[in-house]
Amino acid sequence: MKIGIIGTGSITGKHAQAIAEIEGAELVALYNPNPESAAKAKAQFGLLVLTDLEEFLKVPDMEIVCVCTPSGMHLEPALAAAKAGKHLMIEKPIEINLKRTDELIAACAENKVKLAVIFQNRFTEDYQKLKRAVSEGVFGRLLMGNAYVNWFRDSAYYSTSNWKGTLEADGGGALINQGIHTVDLLLDLMGDVKSVFGQVQTTLYPIEGEDLGAAIVNFKNGALGNITSATALYPGYPERIEIFGTEGSAILEAGKLTQWNIKESSEIVKPSQNSGGSGASDPTAIGHQLHLAQWKLFLRAIQEDQTPVVDGETARKSVELIRAIYFSSKKGKIVAFPFEDED
């Protein structure tokens, strides 16, 4: 299966590494409209790099396109690719607001192409164990689920990027860019949200989006939850998910189970070796193995005509929650779900 990638920045290399390890898959072309960036990518990847989107979409037999542009610039290239009949793998977040997200999902449905959104942290061995246990009711009735992303980025992280922390291209800051991975896991474990109260602020950096955010979530299943997400908390600690139920509790840190306590069970769970790393202090400190796991499943879903893991509707949920937190913070009010954007 031939694959092309749109955007040639820092995350593109992880996709290239992952695709190179899949038998029967081949990365055939890259697209970047900026001639300088395209030349740099050609030198880096040694592949065909096109600066014209129409030409890129005509590369023979290219069935799948992966979108790695800044978050608020996923929609336009994705629409063109969907219209050209390409299946789409999009980097997180699917888009930066619900209107753009819905447009993207609708275009894929209309053009009958598959859509998956990268949330690679779903694929650590320990997360999968936690998810299975929650689904099987091992923790009993869920009482509380927390997601903490107390991370740190230095000022150069923002000052050297033309889009990170901007409202137009990042959609905000720590929540929509960094925290969304863990918010996605929390929603996957705890289910849908009934209401949320959020507060966000910009504390350390001269950015439009937040570098500090917190929220209290009321889940439909009756459980409560806390979310924190930050890029201002030195030195940055591994992201953590806590699940508490009537029959037991578990804590997952940076993709590894560090606590597992089930009533009347003596099972001792040791953290697995392979967690994929944490971007707590350094965004480049993640491997490509989890992207590889999601790519393999996506290719299988295409071959078997199945719904991909983390499809558009699933990826929409974390955008909905984060947009609701922003709205709640702006209005100083609890926000009920389903939430629809104002703008």
Ligand X SMILES: NC(=O)c1ccc[n+]([C@@H]2O[C@H](COP(=O)([O-])OP(=O)(O)OC[C@H]3O[C@@H](n4cnc5c(N)ncnc54)[C@H](O)[C@@H]3O)[C@@H](O)[C@H]2O)c1
Select 92 or 153, whichever has its Cβ closest to ligand X.
Answer: 92
Least Cβ distance, residue 40 to ligand X (angstroms): 8
Binding of residue 9 to ligand X (CB under 6 A)? yes
Is 212 strand, coil or helix?
strand
Cβ-closest residue to ligand X? 9
Binding of residue 6 to ligand X (CB under 6 A)? yes
Least Cβ distance, residue 237 to ligand X (angstroms): 17
Select 9 or 140, whichever has its Cβ closest to ligand X.
Answer: 9
Binding of residue 124 to ligand X (CB under 6 A)? no
Q: Looking at beta carbons, which pairs linking 27-31 to residues 24 or more positions away fall under 8 Å?
A: 27/3, 28/2, 28/3, 28/4, 28/59, 28/61, 28/62, 29/4, 29/5, 29/56, 29/59, 29/62, 30/4, 30/5, 30/6, 31/4, 31/5, 31/6, 31/7, 31/56, 31/77
Strand boundaries in 254-305, DSSP class E:
256-262
Taking the C-alpha atoms of residue 266 and residue 252, their distance in angstroms, rounded to an integer, is 19
Binding of residue 191 to ligand X (CB under 6 A)? no
Query: Binder to ligand X among 15, 50, 65, 70 (CB under 6 A)?
Result: 70
Residues in binding contact with ligand X, number by CB under 6 A: 24
Select 83 or 270, whichever has its Cβ closest to ligand X.
Answer: 83
Q: Among 281, 204, 276, which Cα is nearest to 236's?
A: 281
Least Cβ distance, residue 108 to ligand X (angstroms): 17
Query: Binder to ligand X among 4, 18, 28, 32 (CB under 6 A)?
Result: 32
> Scanning the structure block, which residue is given the tokens 């306590």?
261
CA distances from 163 to 157, 170, 204, 207, 252 (A): 11, 6, 17, 10, 31
> Binding pattern to ligand X, positions 282-301, x when CB under 6 A?
----x---------------
Query: Binder to ligand X among 65, 71, 94, 257 (CB under 6 A)?
Result: 71
Binding of residue 69 to ligand X (CB under 6 A)? yes
Q: Among 218, 36, 85, 35, which Cα is nearest to 144's?
A: 218
**Which residues lie near ligand X (CB under 6 A)?**
6-11, 31-34, 37, 68-71, 73, 77, 91-92, 118, 120, 161, 177, 286
